Amino acid sequence: MTATPIKQQIEATENLNVTGFQPLATPRSMKRELPNTEAAHATVQAARTAIKNILDGSDPRLLIIIGPCSIHDEAQALEYAGRLLELRRRYADRLEIIMRVYPDKPRTTVGWRGYLNDPDMNGQNDFNLGLHKTRELMLNINGLGMPLGTELLDPFVPQYIDDQLSWGAIGARTTESQTHRAMVSGVSAPVGFKNGTGGSVKLAVDAILSARGAHTFLGITDDGQAAVVSTRGNGYGHIILRGGVDGPNYGYEHVEKASEMLTKAGVAPALIVDCSHHNSGYVHENQLDAWHDVIFQRVGGDTRLKGLMVESNLRAGKQSIPTDLSQLQYGVSVTDACVGWDTTEQMLAWAYERLK
């Protein structure tokens, strides 16, 4: 009997569940095609400085990260950005408003993974196109003068968009991930860590401490080559309270407990409250309850609360993604439900008046 060649033996034990590989454009080639602009650079630099000063306490304004749960259409995102920019300028002396631009969405099981993964919303997952369109959209929004923040999910993605981020977030599902903690240690912008889905704030505290340190991990260079990445650490990690299985965690007692944990860990308390998710019970109108409560805490003098996050869109609610994409409702979220634009204007105006 003839022995099976070793190459065939190896092939019989690897990539058994892989259906294909698609070459990916390198970060350098994408930045060459979509270079940073003076306007976008100025927007990012100014906003990063402002956010750091707010987290440090030298800037007394309140940080507001607000915008669609997810981006699925460039025109709608730019319309929202233009409207929000007017409010950012109007309320700039008391609020530092940053737009949520979330093109990459985590899923508890399965579902549409976002504009970056599947920009055509057809299941083809054209990641190259998604990266290109995401960077182009971020450049355009920053170019308007509207700074943006996003959730960082894939460890390779920051190489493509890091220069466009004024703020970043690590979600509840990935706060405990050592890969993401190491990644944040090299991100150029301040990054918030959400408490775990179960409600554990300690996970976020541990993540902040980890991301402050220097790390060495596997990543890619601007030329797309696999590399060992070494970082100096990110000193602007902070907690995002988003509630948990036991309910909301934006009340004074929760702020006090989280602040005590940070202080014990040797970190100055800096907290942002996510008005959505478990803090709203996944009912978009309930975001106003958290919004009002936190603003009143700030008015009462609690400067440990540095900011708020809100899921907002041009129109309220959410919709399922139809088979016929022409049936999509304009300005309505395709992931979590959002408050509409009229409510957004009212919320920001109300906060501005209370923060005299």
- Rounded to an integer, what distance in angstroms lies between the CA atom of residue 48 and that of residue 350? 25
Chain-wide mean pLDDT for the chain? 95
E strand or H helix at 336: none
pLDDT per residue as tens digits for the range 238-267? 999 999 999 999 999 999 999 999 999 999
pLDDT per residue as tens digits for the range 16-51? 899 888 899 999 999 999 999 999 999 999 999 999
All structural domains of the chain with their residue ranges: 26-180+269-354
pLDDT, position 245? 95
Q: What three-state secondary structure class fits 199?
A: coil
pLDDT band at 60 (very low <50, low <70, confident <90, very high): very high
DSSP alpha helices (H): ranges in the chain? 6-11, 27-33, 38-56, 74-90, 127-144, 158-161, 178-184, 202-212, 252-264, 287-299, 341-354
Report, in angstroms and rounded to the nearest whole number, the Rg of the chain calculated over CA atoms: 21
More confident of the two residues 1 and 337: 337
Between the two ends of the chain, the Cα-to-Cα distance in Å is 88
CATH class of the domain at 26-180+269-354: alpha beta
Residue 268 tokens, joined: 């100055």
pLDDT per residue as tens digits for the range 221-232? 999 999 999 999
- Rounded to an integer, what distance in angstroms lies between the CA atom of residue 159 and that of residue 154? 10
